[in-house]
Structure 1
Amino acid sequence: MSHYHSHIQTALSLLETYKGKEPFAVFIKKFFAANKKYGSKDRKAIAHYCYCTFRWGKAWAGKATEEKLLAGVWLCSQQTPGIINEMRPLWLEAATTMGIEPDTATIEQKLEIIGQPAYDTIFPWTKDLSEGIDSRKFTESFFIQPDLFLRTRPGKMNKVKHQLDTAGIFSTRINEDCLALTNSSNLEKTISPDKDAVIQDLSSQQITRFFQQVPKKDMASVWDACAASGGKSILLFDYLPSVKLTVSDIRASVLKNLEMRFHAAGIKGFRSFVADLSNPGRAIPDDKYSFIIADVPCSGSGTWSRTPEQLCVFDEERLLEYASLQKKIISRLIPALLPGGYFLYITCSVFRQENEAQVDFLLENYPVKCVKKETIIGYDKKADTMFAALFTTS
């Protein structure tokens, strides 16, 4: 049992020290780099214990304790791990007494056995959720590791599936061009990234449904205004290879990465520029576009199953900051639309303030109409949850 205690104490120490100023993956990597005594198995166990604890969010008064850590490990496990057999056998006995097989107990059953906590203490912002989100199922999803999704490029499904099978990497075909893999899958040297397949969340792939609402003749000039690494642009290119793309981002380094991805994806003739769209004093090219895509900066709350530390460090006041930033960006982009043009607003947020409230802002302040809006539910598919709304100036 000693190695369990050692790993638990190290994990609790890290959790106590972490203040959320950087992604936890970066934080713990620095810790292990400075403490060489931890072997590969030690590092894996300690990191796992930390992430399982983060998944409790604001519950247990927000404090990291051994009980909270162990409960997190059990809830995140499909089969009973050795640490629970040794350190919390009473939980397993309680399950058996209730007629529940410990290895197949649901998250709801495990919560009942543990006696902690109420769902709304894990994610206390349920009143702020967007339409269509089941708060209970969404909260349960924090204890489930999301999948890694591949979107195969046109005509590449059979090739990519064969490459994965040959490498012994298990994958499940979701649809004609999407594969789901375990999040720990190592794809290095297995596939040609961006050439044959793109790592892209299942919900992000659903944005094609919004592209289909725009007449192809109205995609003559497209500006991906918050392009980041270019995933939405590559998605659009695969839908309409003749598209003429302009891309921008606030970070020059990100655009460099985007250019490398575009090269691998076979996208040529695009235009790119650095733009701070939140600052009215920063000039942007005086061009007009028939279609503008804005995957805006947001809380990222629809992706917190992947970065559960955010559940613990998120401050509700940040919502006001993001909402204000989003309005500033919208206000710079709408004037760049051609008459009859289309504007696609996207977030990976579950909060109404960043989603439906921004739809209302657009409708109240600009001569646009909403063609389609949707909360793209991913928590029931081991994927992210997103929001998208398409507008036209017609």
Structure 2
Amino acid sequence: MTPAAREAAAIELLDRWLGGHPVEQALTLWARASRFAGSGDREAVRDLVFQAVRRRRSAAALGGGETGRALVLGLAREAGIRPEAWTGVGHAPAELSEAEARLLDAPLPVLARPVALDCPDWLLDHFEAALQGQTDVILSRMRDRAPVFLRVNTARTSRDAVVSELTALGIETRPHPLAPTALEITANPRRLRNSDALAEGRVEMQDAASQAIALDFAAHARGPVLDYCAGGGGKALALAAEGFSVSAHDIDPRRMADLPARAKRAGAAIQVLSGPPTGTWSAIFADAPCSGSGSWRRAPEAKWAFTPARLAELTAIQDTILRQCADLTAPGGLLGYATCSMLREENEDRVKAFLENQPGWRCILERRLSPLDGGDGFYLAVLRKSAGS
């Protein structure tokens, strides 16, 4: 596919998304119907689509409207590129209209702050409360693609050994300071999918901040760990690699469907619970359902679907999870509360409300990470229950 043909495909896919189709679904259906598109074409179209979704507001403002064509044109205008190959010939987009040509010739306008930051209007005040003086620089960072990270399974190998193994495959990596297990892929990340390192459990895909949060909790925990909101099991695997015996639970067991195979591949001691956990535990980790605002670079359409009503719903769920975990925590035990959110309402405010309503608990560690640290936005509070509670 030519670059113009890729742009035409992206325009079509963005129109489907704007019409209500989930981005991943639209991309999957397009790939199945476009056998002529090679892997490089599919990845290039995917990258263009996701960049347009991340920058929906600014691209629409610069491109002249809320259509797939306008979004792609807006990205080109911001980059200072004039799409000369839009000829309407073959698979290229139709020629520029007179209005579009005038738009490209005009100086870039000064965009309103939430538009320039690609932030929904109602959310800007929430980010200001949480990020304060760093709001603009963090939200600007969120407008671009996230780095690709690996977690080295140190129960099986070392970070240096993985670096050498992947280098032989042409996959370039570098250690990341957020976690001693973290590698950032700097070149040829798509070769990883066919690597023995991934297939044999020596590495897992996991954001560096997510690794850091798991290791922070592990540094304070003792004994068996209950991963109360295990989901796909990334943090359960990280904790197991640190030598913990981990039991995984999720309110929707289907989310854990792949975890037994991943645990076996990694040589991890993880028991997937078939029902609600019972008894008490010396250490519980709860990566609670949240807005995901810290990872919106990876799932950008969630930003545009998020609403005040959903935020209120999530904070109620988070409060419930904290109460449930408190009941399951043994006297003297630890509860780690984590989210991949950057909003105070889901983080500090929830912990404050918990401590006000649960006597006998104290916070022994609180950590907030943002994309300025290199990975996703994450929050962790490690809470200890008094021995007499």
Q: TM-score range by the shorter chain?
A: 0.7 to 0.9
The CA distance in 2 between the partners of 1:177 and 1:301, in whole Å, is: 24
Query: How many residue pairs were aligned?
Result: 357
Residue 141 of structure 2 corresponds to residue 138 of structure 1:
no
Q: How does 1:173-212 map to 2 (within 5 A)?
A: 173-175=175-177, 176-182=180-186, 184-193=189-198, 195-208=201-214, 210-211=216-217
The CA distance in 1 between the partners of 2:191 and 2:109, in whole Å, is: 37
Q: How does 1:326-337 map to 2 (within 5 A)?
A: 326-337=318-329
* Residue in structure 2 matching 1:172, options 165, 174, 188: 174
The CA distance in 2 between the partners of 1:293 and 1:265, in whole Å, is: 20
The CA distance in 1 between the partners of 2:385 and 2:8, in whole Å, is: 58
Question: How well do the aligned residues superpose, as a CA RMSD in angstroms?
Answer: 3.3
Q: How does 1:227-238 map to 2 (within 5 A)?
A: 227-238=230-241
Amino acid in the other structure paired with 2:32: A
Q: SS of the counterpart of 1:115?
A: coil
In the TM superposition, what is the alpha-carbon distance from 1:346 to its structure 2 partner?
0.6
The CA distance in 1 between the partners of 2:21 and 2:333, in whole Å, is: 39
In the TM superposition, what is the alpha-carbon distance from 1:330 to its structure 2 partner?
1.8
TM-score by length of 2: 0.80
Q: How does 1:343-382 map to 2 (within 5 A)?
A: 343-367=335-359, 368-379=361-372, 381=374
Match of 2:29 in 1: 30
Match of 1:64 in 2: 67
The CA distance in 2 between the partners of 1:4 and 1:166, in whole Å, is: 31
Change (3 A) 1:73 1:315: farther
* Residues 298-322 of structure 1 deviation map (CA, whole Å, 9 limit, x = unaligned): 1111111112222333333211121
Amino acid in the other structure paired with 1:332: Q
Q: Extract unaligned runs of 5+ from structure 1.
A: 95-112, 276-283
- 8 Å CA contact 2:342–2:379 kept in 1: the answer is yes
Match of 1:295 in 2: 287
Q: How does 1:16-165 map to 2 (within 5 A)?
A: 16-18=15-17, 23-36=22-35, 43-59=42-58, 60=60, 63-64=66-67, 66-73=69-76, 83=83, 114-121=108-115, 122-123=118-119, 124=121, 125-129=123-127, 131-132=130-131, 134-154=134-154, 155-165=157-167
The CA distance in 2 between the partners of 1:20 and 1:298, in whole Å, is: 26
Q: Extract unaligned runs of 5+ from structure 2.
A: 87-95
- 8 Å CA contact 2:56–2:71 kept in 1: the answer is no
In the TM superposition, what is the alpha-carbon distance from 1:261 to its structure 2 partner?
1.4
Amino acid in the other structure paired with 1:187: L
Change (3 A) 1:343 1:164: same
* Residues 201-260 of structure 1 deviation map (CA, whole Å, 9 limit, x = unaligned): 01011114532552x5xx223111111222212222233x1x232211133333331111
- 8 Å CA contact 1:341–1:392 kept in 2: the answer is yes
Amino acid in the other structure paired with 1:53: A
Change (3 A) 1:42 1:143: same
The CA distance in 1 between the partners of 2:317 and 2:383, in whole Å, is: 19
Change (3 A) 1:313 1:69: farther
The CA distance in 1 between the partners of 2:2 and 2:366, in whole Å, is: 51
- 8 Å CA contact 1:49–1:73 kept in 2: the answer is no
Does 18-27 or 323-332 show the bigger shift? 18-27
Match of 1:107 in 2: none
In the TM superposition, what is the alpha-carbon distance from 1:198 to its structure 2 partner?
2.2
Match of 1:222 in 2: 225
Residue 290 of structure 2 corresponds to residue 306 of structure 1:
no
In the TM superposition, what is the alpha-carbon distance from 1:388 to its structure 2 partner?
1.0
In the TM superposition, what is the alpha-carbon distance from 1:27 to its structure 2 partner?
2.2
Change (3 A) 1:178 1:8: closer
In the TM superposition, what is the alpha-carbon distance from 1:72 to its structure 2 partner?
2.4
* Residues 134-168 of structure 1 deviation map (CA, whole Å, 9 limit, x = unaligned): 21112211332211111222242122111111111
The CA distance in 2 between the partners of 1:84 and 1:299, in whole Å, is: 40
- 8 Å CA contact 1:149–1:180 kept in 2: the answer is yes
- 8 Å CA contact 2:241–2:268 kept in 1: the answer is no
The CA distance in 1 between the partners of 2:273 and 2:30, in whole Å, is: 37
Match of 2:91 in 1: none
Task: Percent identity, please.
Answer: 25
The CA distance in 1 between the partners of 2:255 and 2:42, in whole Å, is: 30
Change (3 A) 1:139 1:30: same
* Residues 28-77 of structure 1 deviation map (CA, whole Å, 9 limit, x = unaligned): 211332455656565445433322221224444782364442332565x7
Q: SS of the counterpart of 2:67?
A: coil
- 8 Å CA contact 1:19–1:313 kept in 2: the answer is no
- 8 Å CA contact 1:288–1:337 kept in 2: the answer is yes
Change (3 A) 1:258 1:5: closer
Amino acid in the other structure paired with 1:63: E
